[in-house]
Amino acid sequence: MKPLVLVMGVSGAGKSTVGGLLAERLGLPFADADSFHPPANIAKMRRGEPLTDADRWPWLDAIGSWVDARTAEGSGGVVTCSALRRAYRERLRAGRPALRLLYLAGEPALIGARQAARPGHFMPASLMASQFATLEEPTPEEGAILVSVAPPPEDVVDAAIGRLQDAGASSSPA
Ligand SMILES: Nc1ncnc2c1ncn2[C@@H]1O[C@H](COP(=O)(O)OP(=O)(O)OP(=O)(O)O)[C@@H](O)[C@H]1O
Ligand SMILES: O=C(O)[C@H](O)[C@@H](O)[C@H](O)[C@H](O)CO
């Protein structure tokens, strides 16, 4: 079965960069969470206002529908989503047991600097404090694969592919 991967982490963690490269390397369809936001959410973030749970639920469900479509066609896929809170991850994973979680982890100073230096994105640097305040890092029982985003993107992708292969091997029937 082709892998289905949800790439999560705060704004600026590298979800689009690493997720896109990962999809390319594995030959899988790719979707970026930003493309599922309704215009009202984008406008809100642009104004520097954090999204609420109510803003996020329909967005999470749209991402889940993308996963369902890829599951139905058996294509596998890579999709990004900040998925900051455990409840969001539970919503995304409910009824989707094949969806694996890849958590892009990094220090606030490193990710904040990258996020602030990124040109032409609607997400203001002023929202980074709320991103980290909202983040509930995946706990061990969530079974997420954690990779550090400190190395260059290609190296992060190498690490992710290695870990996904290990996880696949250990969960396949004996
Ligand atoms: N491993 C890395 N090393 C150096 N720079 C990186 C790395 N990963 C991403 N970047 C850079 O950091 C910035 C943020 O990356 P990216 O846009 O992929 O983050 P994101 O998690 O998708 O953010 P958002 O959720 O706000 O869309 C970009 O300018 C990107 O080029
Ligand atoms: O969950 C959230 O707080 C937000 O949706 C953000 O994380 C953005 O979607 C995005 O990552 C910025 O580009």
User: Whole-prediction pTM value?
Assistant: 0.95
Question: For a pocket test of ligand 2, which of 35, 45, 55, 60 has the largest count of ligand atoms closer than 8 A to its C-beta?
Answer: 45
Any atom of ligand 1 within 6 Å of the Cβ of 67: no
Asked if 34 and 11 touch (Cβ cutoff 8 Å), the reply is no
Going from the Cα of 165 to the center of ligand 2, the distance in angstroms, rounded, reads 28
Ligand in nearest proximity to the CA of 79? 1
- What ipTM was reported for this prediction? 0.96
- Which CATH superfamily includes the segment(s) 4-171? P-loop containing nucleotide triphosphate hydrolases (3.40.50.300)
Q: For residues 142 and 100, what is the distance between their CA atoms, to the nearest angstrom?
A: 10
Ligand in nearest proximity to the CA of 57? 2
Give the model confidence (pLDDT) of 38-87 as tens digits: 999 999 999 999 999 999 999 999 999 999 999 999 999 999 999 999 99
Q: For residues 57 and 20, what is the distance between their CA atoms, to the nearest angstrom?
A: 24
- Quote the tokens at residue 107: 């220090």
The residue ranges of DSSP E strands in 9-95, in sequence order, are 30-31, 77-80
Give the model confidence (pLDDT) of 100-128 as tens digits: 999 999 999 999 999 999 988 999 999 99
* 4-8: strand order across its sheet: 30-31, 77-80, 4-8, 99-105, 145-148
- Quote the tokens at residue 33: 């969470």
Give the model confidence (pLDDT) of 19-42 as tens digits: 999 999 999 999 999 999 999 999
